[in-house]
Structure 1
Amino acid sequence: MGVQLLERESLLASKVRLFGFAFIIVLVAETIGTISFQVGPGKILLMPLVWAVALGGVVSIFSRYAPAPLRAGASTQWYGAGLLQPALMLLITKLGLLVGASLPSVLAMGWPLVFQEFGHFFGTMIFGLPVALLLGIKREAIGATFSVGREPSLAIIAERFGLASAEGRGVLAEYLTGTVFGAVFIGLLAGFIASLNIFDPIALAMGAGVGSGSMMAAASGAIAAQQSPEVAKQVAVFAGAANLLTTTIGTYFTMFLSLPFTIWAYRVLEPVLGRIGMRPRVAVVEGAEGRAEAANPHKALGVPEWILAWVVTGAMALVGQWLGLKTPIADAVPGMAVILASTMVGFALYRLVWSKMPLVCWVSLVAMLATYPGVPFAAEAAALTAKVNVLALITPILAYAGLSVAKDVPAFRRLGWPIIVTSLMANAGTFLGATLIAQFFRH
């Protein structure tokens, strides 16, 4: 009994530390604000969301040198990773509320929104696979480049090949790279590409809908930060719509199209590029996924913890918005209440139907319905939630991501730099591929 009580106290302390660290990071990140600098013809934007994930990573990795009460240990890091899903639901709700009010214009977009999805699902392979083979990576390249490697991709590879296979090691590398570096990398890339003024902002927004909430948030935020307020709102709308489309049809697309095509392309390209590339290099991480799960003390968050995550994350966003954008907290509270209520209704429907449809779909549908023109009180809901800035919601989410980084460092050491370069190329490919197709159809 005494040991169990001590374990509960330790878990509770890790949760309190996580929220405390995240709140301080949000305050610091929003106070720093956005810093930009020129790189050739374009510019790099270092926004609060970048500071948040960077500061979180520093705290996560170096806190072991701090006094015990101030350490972000393994339990704190795992809790930060666990909070990402509920926190991302708030962002999905906010985007759904934006999409609902603008749904007629989204539907009017038509073919560009549909066909840009091919860029998302084939861009990873086109950009990533040749690089992987030239860097000496073998079948790991299939798992690392057939998608952006989120949870559904892990499940697809696990079922077909097993996570202990070469393909499993590749998708795990893509997953880890996306988790640790994905948001920062895609945010910097999207901001730089947007600053070149080559592409239509709406095409860039559709490219940002890569199927990962945190990466979509970072990319769309970097694009929106360089637009007028009205265009910035459209960027958020179309990024959210594209991300929803990628998330909903992505599992089937990657299973029946992307993965078979990547396997075929590997068989064709490997005999050629593998011969002229670097010496074969295999990252040995067998069993890493199972060991990681065994080490996680926060395996499943209960409903009260989801609600706590929503309330605390919402509060951090309001304080961060007040610091960064000078929006009075009292003015934004009603809008945040609408976001929280919509998220909870979507979550309740998800639980009532025994998870027959992904949570992101339920939350998005409820949010879009709440602001769809013609629905009672839709205009009022849209007006209230407009006072909650999308970027303000992103900052605490990426603070959680940063605080969970240290637990993945050993795996990265085993994987080596070639697989990380490959994963970043795949992430760049999904954004650039979809943007190019959307740009073609818009013009």
Structure 2
Amino acid sequence: MQASATATPVIQPGLQTWKLYVYAVLILVVAELIGSVAFKMGPGKVVLLPMVWALIMGAVIGSVQSKMGPLALTRPLQFRAAAILQPALLLFVAKLGLMVGSSLPKIIGAGWALVFQEFGHFVGTIVIGLPLALLLGIKREAIGATFSVGREPSLAIIGERYGMNSPEGRGVLAEYITGTLFGAVFIAIFAGFITSLNIFHPVALAMGAGVGSGSMMAAAAGAIAAQQTPEMAKDVATFAAASNLITTTIGTYFTLFISLPLAVWGYRVLEPIIGRTTSSSSTAADDKLHEQTHTEVADLNLAGRVGAWVFAGVLTIIANWIAYKVAPLESVGCIVIMIGAVLVGDLLCNLTGRKIPAVCWVTLAAMFLTSPACPWADAIVAITGKINFLAVITPMLTFAGLSIAKDIPAFRKLGWRIVLVSFAANAGTFIGATLIAEFFH
């Protein structure tokens, strides 16, 4: 697409992508050196992990580009960062799949109540969050913000389906940021209040606490356990952990095949009825500007995707080295296996005409490698255990931060409304899962 005569000349990002890589390395190193910072807030505790610092630093660099001269992270380069983020997220999905495969026996033994309560986790966000978002004037961002609690697998699903440059992508990223900063505090207060009403069995409440985020699960379970006997408190911790494991694993498929289609359908039906246009509403002009710039920055081909996987792998090794003191050479084997699973998943996705998303194929390929069905599972588990789960997330959020400045005007428009919607979605997932777990318990 040609830029108009009055538009700012577009610098082709292909010639300057090296800037992204340099910034990514610097941001990652600084974020990991800062490490985790925890502080109390009311009855809960907020933990700011390196991923948060990476997100913030990337956003700052993109926001002050006009003052950085030749070092500026231009708008096209921010779109290129989002294009790199989409395939890089599959590396995280592969790590998740490797963790799931070895846990399959535990998941199978968890019982039907834990499986069925997943419907509550992912439908509850939509039932409460989506109508509120529409009433507040949020448009297509509402789909990304309310189809789940917006954790890492959700970023990957929306990124593949719509692209992170879409309104849906902005919605899920806004939900992710809100949940990361405030989710644990909110869910601790909310879960503690619901527990105090003595309506639900503590085990049902524990299942509801497994929302798919470790920090949020721990906060909710702690608030519930604090009101129980010592023996019941142990059961609360056990069932909350099992529920969180299932939400993080099976939940990926629930969000992809159930809650996302339900959110899309709900938006299509409800928006003409209760949707409003307010100062927070995205406009056709906003979407057109994003589409025009995205067209000027082509999506990555296979070579570009492989490059994204390799570079994300290198960043993961660096993060694992700084944060968890694992020598880089010890982590290489894990990265090779992860990239192999991603490559197989990507090829299968294309061979099947992309009818089944790459997220599913990558998860299945990785799960097989560590499942009891694989004869080399024990050796692969030993190799892939060298890299900590959190070390994979920080590189992804580094690229998210480098891409986020282009969306800051849209986030400003969403403002407090997206925070309120995020809280509603979190409350919905907790209540929905607890209700179903109560029924089956």
Q: TM exceeds 0.5?
A: yes
Q: Indicate yes or no: 2:357 matched with 1:358.
A: yes
Which of 126, 131, 137 is 1:124 aligned to?
A: 126
Paired with 2:387 and 2:340, the residues of 1 have a C-alpha distance of: 14
**Which residue does the alignment assign to 1:51?**
53
Report if aligned partners of 1:52, 1:399 keep a CA contact under 8 Å in 2. yes
Paired with 2:333 and 2:206, the residues of 1 have a C-alpha distance of: 29
How far 1:417 moved relative to its partner? 3.2
Amino acid at match of 1:37: F
Paired with 2:128 and 2:120, the residues of 1 have a C-alpha distance of: 11
Report if aligned partners of 1:372, 1:378 keep a CA contact under 8 Å in 2. yes
Paired with 2:21 and 2:89, the residues of 1 have a C-alpha distance of: 16
**Which residue does the alignment assign to 1:66?**
68
**Which residue does the alignment assign to 2:147?**
147
Ranges in structure 2 where 5+ consecutive residues have no aligned partner: 1-8, 193-201, 223-236
What is the SS of the residue equivalent to 2:386? Answer: coil
Which of 181, 191, 204 is 1:188 aligned to?
A: 181
Which of 11, 14, 26 is 2:13 aligned to?
A: 11
For residues 75-127 of structure 1, the C-alpha deviation after alignment (integer angstroms, 9 at most, x for no partner) is 21001111121111011111111111111222333332333233323323414
For residues 123-162 of structure 1, the C-alpha deviation after alignment (integer angstroms, 9 at most, x for no partner) is 23414534763x5x49889768763597988999x9xxxx
What is the SS of the residue equivalent to 1:404? Answer: helix
Report if aligned partners of 1:56, 1:402 keep a CA contact under 8 Å in 2. yes
Amino acid at match of 1:207: V
Amino acid at match of 2:82: A
- Aligned-residue sequence identity (percent) comes to 26
Paired with 1:141 and 1:345, the residues of 2 have a C-alpha distance of: 32
Amino acid at match of 2:170: L
How far 1:337 moved relative to its partner? 1.2
How far 1:441 moved relative to its partner? 6.9
Q: Indicate yes or no: 2:405 matched with 1:406.
A: yes
How far 1:241 moved relative to its partner? 2.8
Amino acid at match of 1:348: L
How far 1:242 moved relative to its partner? 1.4
> Which shifted more, 372-381 or 32-41?
372-381
Q: Indicate yes or no: 2:393 matched with 1:384.
A: no
How far 1:299 moved relative to its partner? 2.7
Change over 3 Å in CA distance of 1:144–1:184 after alignment to 2 = closer
Change over 3 Å in CA distance of 1:294–1:129 after alignment to 2 = same
Amino acid at match of 1:88: L
**Which residue does the alignment assign to 2:262?**
253
What is the SS of the residue equivalent to 1:36? Answer: strand
Amino acid at match of 1:187: T
Report if aligned partners of 1:93, 1:343 keep a CA contact under 8 Å in 2. yes
Residues 34-433 of structure 1: pairs in structure 2 closer than 5 A: 34-68=36-70, 70-109=71-110, 110-127=112-129, 129-130=131-132, 133=135, 137=137, 147=147, 175-179=169-173, 181-192=174-185, 203=207, 206-208=210-212, 219-220=213-214, 235=244, 238-255=247-264, 258-259=266-267, 262=270, 283=281, 285-296=283-294, 297-413=296-412, 415=413, 417=415, 419-425=417-423, 427-429=425-427, 431-433=429-431
Aligned length: 396
Report if aligned partners of 1:101, 1:371 keep a CA contact under 8 Å in 2. yes
Amino acid at match of 2:263: T
How far 1:442 moved relative to its partner? 8.8
Paired with 1:260 and 1:369, the residues of 2 have a C-alpha distance of: 37
Change over 3 Å in CA distance of 1:314–1:153 after alignment to 2 = closer
Report if aligned partners of 1:36, 1:44 keep a CA contact under 8 Å in 2. yes
Report if aligned partners of 1:99, 1:368 keep a CA contact under 8 Å in 2. yes
How far 1:321 moved relative to its partner? 1.1
Paired with 1:192 and 1:341, the residues of 2 have a C-alpha distance of: 38
Report if aligned partners of 1:112, 1:438 keep a CA contact under 8 Å in 2. no
Report if aligned partners of 1:22, 1:400 keep a CA contact under 8 Å in 2. yes
Paired with 1:97 and 1:63, the residues of 2 have a C-alpha distance of: 39
Report if aligned partners of 1:176, 1:408 keep a CA contact under 8 Å in 2. yes
What is the SS of the residue equivalent to 2:313? Answer: helix
Ranges in structure 1 where 5+ consecutive residues have no aligned partner: 1-6, 159-171, 209-218
For residues 35-56 of structure 1, the C-alpha deviation after alignment (integer angstroms, 9 at most, x for no partner) is 0001111110011111111111
The alignment's C-alpha RMSD in Å is: 4.0
Paired with 1:83 and 1:202, the residues of 2 have a C-alpha distance of: 38
Paired with 2:138 and 2:17, the residues of 1 have a C-alpha distance of: 41
Paired with 1:145 and 1:389, the residues of 2 have a C-alpha distance of: 28
Change over 3 Å in CA distance of 1:205–1:86 after alignment to 2 = farther
Paired with 1:300 and 1:424, the residues of 2 have a C-alpha distance of: 30
Paired with 2:241 and 2:210, the residues of 1 have a C-alpha distance of: 13
Change over 3 Å in CA distance of 1:263–1:285 after alignment to 2 = closer
Amino acid at match of 2:375: P
**Which residue does the alignment assign to 2:198?**
none
Paired with 1:138 and 1:372, the residues of 2 have a C-alpha distance of: 42
Which of 14, 19, 25 is 1:23 aligned to?
A: 25
Paired with 1:363 and 1:155, the residues of 2 have a C-alpha distance of: 13
> Which shifted more, 402-411 or 147-156?
147-156
Amino acid at match of 1:87: A
What is the SS of the residue equivalent to 1:64? Answer: helix
Paired with 1:55 and 1:188, the residues of 2 have a C-alpha distance of: 15
Paired with 2:286 and 2:340, the residues of 1 have a C-alpha distance of: 38
What is the SS of the residue equivalent to 1:43? Answer: strand
Paired with 1:55 and 1:17, the residues of 2 have a C-alpha distance of: 15
Amino acid at match of 2:51: L
Amino acid at match of 2:77: T
> Which shifted more, 388-397 or 236-245?
236-245
**Which residue does the alignment assign to 1:4?**
none
TM-score, reference length from structure 1 = 0.76
How far 1:251 moved relative to its partner? 4.0
